[in-house]
Amino acid sequence: MNLNVEIGFEQLLQMVMQLPAKQRKILLDTIQKAEKQPPAPNNLQALLLTGPVWTEEEYQQVLKTREQLNQLGTNGSH
């Protein structure tokens, strides 16, 4: 179950200040802990960070193959 409540910052602050000191401390610790955690990567970012990568040798082979295909296209068309 989700509950969405729209309140202004001032109202929120007033409500927090009404909490007992122990609960305010827990709230503060929870907020500080959440701010220290890095944000979760989105799906694209996760894919890019964990996806396959080419080695330099593989990349050079792709460039060589591309060059050969380009030459075939220019030399083969009459």
Would you state the pLDDT for residue 16?
94
Q: pLDDT-based confidence at 58, cuts 50/70/90?
A: very high
Would you state the pLDDT for residue 65?
95
Would you state the pLDDT for residue 46?
81
35 and 27 in contact (C-beta within 8 Å)? no
**Could you read off the pLDDT of 13-53 as tens digits, one per residue?**
999 999 999 999 999 999 999 888 877 767 888 888 888 88
